[in-house]
Amino acid sequence: MTTSMVMASSHKIFLLFFFITFLLFPTTQAQTYIDHNCSSNKKFTANSAFQSDRTTLLSSLASNNATDFNSTTVVGRGDTVYGLFMCRGDVNLTTCHQCVVNATQRLPSDCPVSKEAIVWYDECLLRYSNRSFFSIVDTRPRLGRPNPYNVSNPASFMRTLYDIMNKTADEAAKPAVGEKKYASNARGEILPFRTVFCLAQCTPDLSPSDCRWCLSGTIGDLNLCCDGKEGATVLYPSCYVRYELYPFYLPEAPTPTPPSAIVPLPSSQGKALTYLLKL
Ligand SMILES: *[C@@H]1O[C@H](CO)[C@@H](O)[C@H](O)[C@H]1NC(C)=O
Ligand SMILES: *[C@@H]1O[C@H](CO)[C@@H](O)[C@H](O)[C@H]1NC(C)=O
Ligand SMILES: *[C@@H]1O[C@H](CO)[C@@H](O)[C@H](O)[C@H]1NC(C)=O
Ligand SMILES: *[C@@H]1O[C@H](CO)[C@@H](O)[C@H](O)[C@H]1NC(C)=O
Ligand SMILES: *[C@@H]1O[C@H](CO)[C@@H](O)[C@H](O)[C@H]1NC(C)=O
Ligand SMILES: *[C@@H]1O[C@H](CO)[C@@H](O)[C@H](O)[C@H]1NC(C)=O
Ligand SMILES: *[C@@H]1O[C@H](CO)[C@@H](O)[C@H](O)[C@H]1NC(C)=O
Ligand SMILES: *[C@@H]1O[C@H](CO)[C@@H](O)[C@H](O)[C@H]1NC(C)=O
């Protein structure tokens, strides 16, 4: 082979790889809001010390642009306020920071006088409370978010899905306390019928066993919200899982994926997930 032929063919491979990457990992907007929850039984008085402490806490969280997780405590005149944010394991720090800033800007209007609140996006979550929740598994409030499309063979699909989800959860829960707890099957796992993409993540402050326990809860809830669906997300304050029949996250290490391994069927791709279920 001459040099120019080698170059020409590697150029083609390069283009092919780019094309595949573009198809499979389309660029998304900065952040996609999912839902929020405000405590309705724990409230503060408008313009009280708690409100200014919350402002301090949120701006401290928003000022951090160098990590994908951080927790902060503001010792106030009355209650202490605890807060944290966590970004999805595959998003870069720029997207992470934009998401966190957006969260800190919308929570005060979504939850004007709540002493405890959480907001979930596709790319990050952010929460605060007057109760110390660090290193604690919080499983409420919880949310199920089914993709409206059904698979054609729910029983065998769900059986295989649980198996893959359990493995992904095992992987996510392994790292020690304080370390990032995120796993995805980045290339998809081929079922007899479709390719499924899963991810699982816990806040890093959890221990491996607490993380796994939290994820077991979310995996169990897939049944309640989303049995037989082509995709679903179950969100807790401390952990979440998601699966889809298309890649919805970036591969952790940008290893080229063999084209034959991932051929997502486009039925539900990119369609809005239209409803939320309280679990
Ligand atoms: C959390 O944020 C604070 C303030 O921005 C910073 O000093 C600290 O290093 C951050 N923690 C981590 C683990 O990045
Ligand atoms: C983080 O913020 C600092 C100070 O505003 C800025 O100099 C730096 O470029 C930012 N880094 C990123 C990754 O956005
Ligand atoms: C971060 O990710 C977003 C969305 O995937 C992308 O548009 C952006 O270019 C990335 N930024 C950097 C600095 O990698
Ligand atoms: C938050 O993001 C949404 C789009 O996702 C945007 O419409 C809104 O203006 C942002 N809010 C702030 C305060 O940046
Ligand atoms: C949080 O605020 C609620 C409502 O004011 C109060 O009942 C509760 O004791 C506070 N929790 C802590 C840990 O201070
Ligand atoms: C917020 O979460 C609580 C506790 O799980 C739940 O009872 C309540 O219905 C939720 N509120 C909304 C508006 O979803
Ligand atoms: C999925 O199945 C449910 C229950 O069998 C049905 O109500 C719903 O219309 C189906 N959704 C689609 C998009 O076909
Ligand atoms: C997944 O793990 C749960 C317990 O966490 C177990 O009940 C279930 O049988 C497992 N499913 C599969 C398919 O391995």
Considering every ligand atom, which ligand is closest to the CA of 220? 8
Q: Do 62 and 128 fall into the same domain?
A: yes
CA of 93 to the centre of ligand 3 (A): 8
- Write the single-letter amino acid at 227: D
259 inside domain: no
Q: Do 157 and 215 fall into the same domain?
A: yes
Q: What is the pLDDT of residue 126?
A: 98
Q: What is the pLDDT of residue 189?
A: 75
96 inside domain: yes
Q: Do 53 and 97 fall into the same domain?
A: yes
Whether residue 64 has its Cβ less than 6 Å from ligand 1? yes
Q: Do 58 and 77 fall into the same domain?
A: yes
263 inside domain: no
CA of 140 to the centre of ligand 6 (A): 8
CA of 230 to the centre of ligand 8 (A): 20
CA of 37 to the centre of ligand 6 (A): 6
Q: Which residue has its alpha carbon closest to ligand 6 atom 10?
A: 37
CA of 46 to the centre of ligand 3 (A): 38
Q: Do 125 and 206 fall into the same domain?
A: no
112 inside domain: yes
Q: Which residue has its alpha carbon closest to ligand 2 atom 10?
A: 65
Q: Do 91 and 112 fall into the same domain?
A: yes
Q: Do 96 and 170 fall into the same domain?
A: no
Q: Do 48 and 129 fall into the same domain?
A: yes
11 inside domain: no
Q: Which atom of ligand 6 is nearest to the CA of 38?
A: 1
Q: Which atom of ligand 7 is nearest to the CA of 149?
A: 13
Best residue among 95, 96, 99 to mutate for probing ligand 3's pocket (most ligand atoms within 8 Å of CB) is 95
Q: Do 210 and 184 fall into the same domain?
A: yes
Considering every ligand atom, which ligand is closest to the CA of 150? 7
Could you give the CA distance from residue 279 to residue 270 in angstroms, rounded to a whole number?
A: 24
192 inside domain: yes
HEC assignment per residue over the chain: CCHHHHHHHHHHHHHHHHHHHHHHCCCCCCCCEEEEEECCCCECCCCCHHHHHHHHHHHHHHHCCCCCEEEEEEECCCCEEEEEEEECCCCCHHHHHHHHHHHHHHHHHHCCCECCEEEEECCEEEEEECCCCCCCCCCCCCEEEECCCECCCHHHHHHHHHHHHHHHHHHHHCCCCCCCEEEECCCCEECCCCEEEEEEEECCCCCHHHHHHHHHHHHHHHHHHHCCECCEEEECCCEEEEEECCCCCCCCCCCCCCHHHCCCCCCCCCCCCCCCEEC
Considering every ligand atom, which ligand is closest to the CA of 200? 8
**Residue 78: which CATH number?**
3.30.430.20
Q: What is the pLDDT of residue 186?
A: 74
User: Which residue's entry shows tokens 């994820």?
Assistant: 215
Q: Do 80 and 63 fall into the same domain?
A: yes
- Write the single-letter amino acid at 175: P
Q: What is the pLDDT of residue 251?
A: 65
203 inside domain: yes
Q: Which residue has its alpha carbon closest to ligand 1 atom 10?
A: 70
Whether residue 228 has its Cβ less than 6 Å from ligand 7? no
Q: Which atom of ligand 4 is nearest to the CA of 98?
A: 14
pLDDT tens for each residue of the chain, 279 residues long: 344 433 344 444 333 344 444 444 444 457 899 999 999 899 999 889 999 999 999 999 999 999 999 999 999 887 899 999 999 999 999 999 999 999 999 999 999 999 999 999 999 999 999 999 999 999 999 999 999 999 988 998 999 999 999 999 999 999 999 999 999 987 777 766 678 999 999 999 999 999 999 999 999 999 999 999 999 999 999 999 999 999 888 765 444 444 333 333 334 443 333 355 666
25 inside domain: no
CA of 155 to the centre of ligand 4 (A): 40
Whether residue 227 has its Cβ less than 6 Å from ligand 7? no
CA of 65 to the centre of ligand 2 (A): 6
Could you give the CA distance from residue 238 to residue 142 in angstroms, rounded to a whole number?
A: 10
Domain count, the chain: 2
Q: What is the pLDDT of residue 261?
A: 38
Q: What is the pLDDT of residue 170?
A: 97
Query: In terms of C-beta density within 10 A (0-12 exposed, 13-18 middle, 19 or more buried), how is residue 57 classed?
Result: buried
Q: Do 128 and 184 fall into the same domain?
A: no
Full domain range(s) for residue 54 = 33-134
Structural contact between residues 218 and 196, judged by C-beta atoms closer than 8 angstroms? no
Q: Do 188 and 121 fall into the same domain?
A: no
